[in-house]
Amino acid sequence: MSMLLKNFIPLCVVLFTVVACNNNCSESDLIVAIVPQPNDMVQQEGAFTVNSKTAFVLPENEKLAASVDLINQRFVRAAGFALKTTSEKPGKNYIAVEMDPSFSQGSEAYELTVTTTGVTVKAASERGAFYGLMTMLQLLPPEIESPTLAKDACWTMPCIRVNDEPRFIWRGMHLDVCRHFVPVEFIKKQLDVMAMFKMNTFHWHLTEDQGWRIEIKKYPLLTELGSKRIEGDGSEYGGYYTQDEIKEVVAYAAERFINVVPEIELPGHSLAALVGYPHLSCTGGPFQVRNVWGVEPDVYCAGKEETFQFLEDIIDEVVPLFPYEYFHIGGDESPKDRWKECADCQKRIKAEGLKDEHELQSYFVQRIEKVLLAHGKKMIGWDEILEGGLAPSATVMSWRGEAGGIEAAKQGHDVVMTPGGWVYLDHYQGDSKVEPVAIGGYTTLEKSYGYDPVPAELEGELAKHVLGTQGNVWSEYMYTPELFEHRIYPRIIALAEVGWTLKENKDFPDFLKRMDPQFVRLDYHGINYHIPLPEGLVNLVAFTDTANLEFTSTRSVKMVYTIDGSEPDQNSTVYESPLIFTDHATVKIRSVLNSGKMSSVRTIQVEKQELVPAVAVETTNAGLKGKYAEGTFIWVKDIESVQSWTDIVVTKENLGTINNYQSPTAAVLAGYFEIPEDGVYEFKTNFDQFFIGDKLLINNDGEVKRFSRNNAMIALAKGKHPVKIIYLNNNIGGFPQSWNHFVVEYKKAGDEQYTTVKLEDFTY
């Protein structure tokens, strides 16, 4: 389809004259801002108002009736009335749904026509009709999504014709509930929003090294033991879904025309299963559910027949819960270390005439494929399933870039393109110093929106193998439901448009305009979406003469600030140019969306400082001197309870004494380091606390120390300066402190590159 925008002004934000509206509606109530962008849309004159006498006209059809009920629930909540349903179309004041099998070859296609007398949705399938109704809802004001009565809303929509169908048949979201678990109601909430934006696939990642999350009745230890882990602070973390809850979610998704794909990881990422059934490993265990992130070397043993019987039994229970044709088997990041040392695995390699452990994985996956085919299922897996030979009917989910998807498509296999650099929603979407801690990466809203699932190598005939794309939500650093949503939205909505809208009809500035009312809809659903924060500075800015504070953001948003210590609001001073200071100040600044929704507040302490003088000491011994104690210490205050310390000089050679996450410790260390010239310097480190002289410069106490987030500045004179380091070798939030480099980094204000101070660069 081609985009027809007759008489539309730029950016598709169109104001219509109100016609026949019973309420006092202004033109601004009628904004055409549909997401995903329809592929064929024509403006017409006039408008239609829904009221308590409007009739829903539909043929006798159970699925259509369920869709209409979802629409009616909105009117009951937000408008205070329900639309009556009938099979007889009146002359006016109707919303009619018409089924026509010959309407389009696309099962998800629809035509929506709004005139001054009524609304008509035509489609060849119930799914297409549902999408037409979702578009209709977006023509109404955002208040239609309100959970309570919206007294002043005007239920008027502009006259328009939309003829639409998606570019791709797979428009999905993956959700990892293993690293961090979410309840059923949270999943339903996300399914509601996915449906609003015509997403049709929910990929449910149910098993991992860090937790088994689905009830298997034949193997109760999978959940009795495998669903629970002991965190680094000694607390127990767990949760799983009963089979009844699984059915509930699948049914809920089906009502919204969302297919649910289960993922049962194999042969790797399987430690949680081995905890209860260690005989299925190569070593026999014993095991504990992994409480740190990363990849576990212990996997299912490929040489034992019991392994395959176990997995077949699990599949026998899981398949009936998920009617969709696809079944995801993982297949990624499966280390071969244990297989190389395992007599059973080596025997299997020899017996099957396999070349190596990569072909053994291919053998493993192909055996599982046969089990799934016997159940009438299509197997899908991460792109590692290509290694050693691809299973005959497998579909590949390409995550390590696009190469795996390209290779699979060239072999004639279908692919879902999910390259981490564009669609991994656990990545940072802003400056790591101001955003909540994440796994890494940098994937802005604009970058996600700009992704094209069909690489140049697959254009033409091979493009038919690209089923679509999905956003992948990996939950290592999503410690609360609110953090899940903060990472998911609005990037998943950008990917909804990537999956639906033709490439030539996409436009990022226009998308941002159309998102303005969508943010209001998300507010009504209680979604904690990401709002870009003011970026560009650390939270402690030091200067000796004049400070110049310049703020940026990942997209164009208004920023407001105060310098009197008060919280900024919509009426505060708008940031338009760098702020200049010649004395101490406290700057509080936040972003404001067009809807009026505000971001959290950033507080910047601005300090005018004199150069801290260097000290005249002779120190030549490399390392740090201090004391350490064994035990689990989460907060710095916890070391106050230590009864017995051990003196230590920490050098590069003995760092492991205090730096092994399996043997937690605390250390208080002191020494000196040298500054090359007078100046103002910015420091960063992941140590729990870092002092220069008596000044606590960086305080990471109690935080997940994945990346340095509390950088700070200080004015220092050339020469040696005393430092104190408090180092807690703990595991907070699944990330051990010992995984960080034992370093401090600094740079002179205005410089780009940091200088690294390693352990051997300190002296005592």
Alpha-carbon span 422 to 398, nearest angstrom = 12
CA 389 and chain centroid, separation: 31
The CA–CA distances, whole Å, from 703 to 481, 688, 737, 740 equal 18, 8, 10, 13
Alpha-carbon span 120 to 115, nearest angstrom = 9
CA 250 and chain centroid, separation: 21
User: Is 536 in contact with 36 (CB distance < 8 Å)?
Assistant: no
User: Is 295 in contact with 333 (CB distance < 8 Å)?
Assistant: yes
Alpha-carbon span 416 to 468, nearest angstrom = 5
Alpha-carbon span 61 to 99, nearest angstrom = 10
Strand duo 624-630 + 211-212: pairing: unpaired
Task: Report, as residue numbers or ranges, the catalytic residues.
Answer: 333
Alpha-carbon span 697 to 680, nearest angstrom = 13
User: Is 689 in contact with 696 (CB distance < 8 Å)?
Assistant: yes
Coil, strand or helix at 322: coil
Give the bridge partners for 466, in sequence order. 415
Tokens of 560: 């407001």
Select from 690, 763, 694, 755 the least CA-distant residue to 728: 690
Alpha-carbon span 691 to 672, nearest angstrom = 11
Q: What is the DSSP string of 679-728?
A: EEEEEEE-SSEEEETTEEEEE-TTS--SS----EEEEE-SEEEEEEEEEE
The CA–CA distances, whole Å, from 197 to 109, 259, 495, 517 equal 14, 14, 10, 13
Strand duo 415-417 + 466-473: pairing: parallel
User: Is 226 in contact with 213 (CB distance < 8 Å)?
Assistant: no
Alpha-carbon span 284 to 300, nearest angstrom = 10
Reported as half-sphere exposure (CB side, CA atoms, 13 A), residue 580 has a value of 3
